[in-house]
Amino acid sequence: MKSSALVFLAAFIALSASWGGFVLAPQLQLGRTAQVKTGPAQDNYPVARPGLAAQGAEVYRSLGCVYCHSQSVGQEGVKCEIILIDAGTNATATLAALGKLNRELDKPQTLALLPKVILQVADMNAADPILKAIGAAGAKAQVLVNAVGPDISRGWGRRRTVAQDYLYDLPVQPGSRRVGPDLANLGLRMPDVNWQLRHLYAPAATVPGSTMPPYRFLFEFRKIGRQPSASALQLSGKDAPPAGYEIVPTEAARALATYLVSLRANAPLFESPFTAPAAPPVVTTNSPAK
Ligand code: HEC
């Protein structure tokens, strides 16, 4: 075998190139992903799911919800709104600076009723010089970053989903089909556990026209004992159990519903920014203010 060195070299290059592509490159890109502090309140994000919700993730996985639901919000880009907050003390200089950005803005009305949106630009690169020009004239402006795209307009999220969002999920269940809505932020849209349970038991009765299959085996149909159970479903119409009977969620149903309301991926991240509304002030006492 004269060319054994060549064969070895070819195999070596092929294997090391694929190792580089499949192991090294992802590790360099994502290997150091860690929890971060984010948003106006500097909350930790993401956080591990608490016990019952973590069990619910397994129920979600075992029932194949992922075949009809994605957990991954898409985004086409951002729109930055420039908001004039303070006109400064020299109105003439401010108007002159604004007039240079857009001739329409060089009018006294521009400075009335602040704060207000004065310009819309494509991204932060375009916004930065505008902020500088406004600042140089002694006025103050702020940028509001809004994510845009069809998923965002549907209300499925405030920004696109990124790898960081799945940090504590093993396995991740981003899904690839959308027979039903995306669930990445379900916990913010529908935080009511009892609604989730009723929907799992009778989707069509909860959402008229729903084609989602009911998951009745997650519930127990039983005779009311000495006292009705506190967790029995409140059902009406043809789904209601006959008198003397009740429908009670099993442990798996409660875990699944807890998992569903724990789905919230809405903290702004460096790689997927948007401007979060300011956190409400933390009230630690209900005694009257002094
Ligand atoms: C055959 C496809 C299919 C499967 C499987 C499926 N769903 Fe659905 N799901 C839908 C459809 C369609 C809707 C929209 C109608 C509705 O709200 O009932 C929906 C809606 C939902 C909603 C309401 C979301 C919203 O934003 O309105 C939740 C929550 C949900 N499904 C959870 C689940 C869970 C949990 C499972 C697994 C136990 C599951 N689904 C399995 C098709 C499916």
- Residues lining ligand 1, Cβ inside 6 A: 60, 63-65, 67-69, 179-181, 186, 189, 196, 203, 207, 210-213, 215, 256, 260
Percent of the chain whose predicted confidence (pLDDT) is above 70 = 95
| Contact residues for 174 (Cβ-Cβ < 8 A; gap 6+) | 70, 71, 72, 161, 166
Token pair, residue 195, equals: 């609604």
Distance in angstroms (rounded) separating the CA atoms of residues 97 and 233: 63
Torsion of the alpha carbons at 157, 37, 28 and 172, rounded to the nearest 10: -40
Predicted model pTM: 0.85
Kindly list the distances between the CA atom of residue 102 and the CA atoms of 96, 107, 114, 115, 208, in Å, as whole numbers in the listed order. 10, 11, 18, 18, 50
Give residue 119 CA to ligand 1 midpoint distance, Å. 40
Kindly list the distances between the CA atom of residue 284 and the CA atoms of 35, 38, 281, 287, 288, in Å, as whole numbers in the listed order. 26, 22, 9, 9, 11
Per residue in 239-253, pLDDT (tens digit) is 899 999 999 999 999
Give residue 256 CA to ligand 1 midpoint distance, Å. 12
Distance in angstroms (rounded) separating the CA atoms of residues 234 and 211: 21
**Best substitution site from 69, 179, 194, 211 to test ligand 1's pocket, by max atoms within 8 Å of Cβ?**
69
Q: What is the separation of C-alpha 111 from the centre of its chain, rounded to a whole number of angstroms? A: 36
- Closest-CA residue, ligand 1 atom 19, reads 180
**Best substitution site from 59, 63, 68 to test ligand 1's pocket, by max atoms within 8 Å of Cβ?**
68
| Contact residues for 277 (Cβ-Cβ < 8 A; gap 6+) | 40
79 closest CA partner among 139, 153, 184, 162: 153
pLDDT tens for the chain, 290 residues long, are: 678 999 999 999 999 999 999 999 999 998 989 999 988 888 899 999 999 999 999 999 999 999 999 999 999 988 999 999 888 888 888 998 888 888 888 888 888 888 888 889 888 888 899 999 999 989 999 899 999 999 999 999 999 999 999 999 989 999 999 999 999 999 999 999 999 999 999 999 999 999 999 999 999 999 998 999 999 999 988 889 999 999 999 999 999 999 999 999 889 998 888 887 665 555 555 555 54
Tokens 């397994």 identify what position?
58
Distance in angstroms (rounded) separating the CA atoms of residues 213 and 216: 9
Torsion of the alpha carbons at 105, 109, 114 and 118, rounded to the nearest 10: -20
Ligand 1 atom index nearest CA of 65: 37
Q: N- to C-terminal Cα distance for the chain? A: 92
Kindly list the structural domains of the chain, giving each domain's residue range(s) and its CATH number in brackets, ordered by start: 36-73+178-261 (1.10.760.10), 77-148 (3.30.1390.10)
Distance in angstroms (rounded) separating the CA atoms of residues 53 and 29: 29
44-52: long-range pairs with CB below 8 Å, 24+: 45/164, 45/267, 45/269, 46/164, 46/165, 46/167, 46/168, 46/265, 46/267, 47/168, 48/168, 49/168, 49/169, 49/259, 49/262, 50/262, 52/254, 52/255, 52/258, 52/259
Residues, the chain: 290
Per residue in 54-108, pLDDT (tens digit) is 999 999 999 999 999 999 999 998 899 999 988 888 888 899 888 888 888 888 8
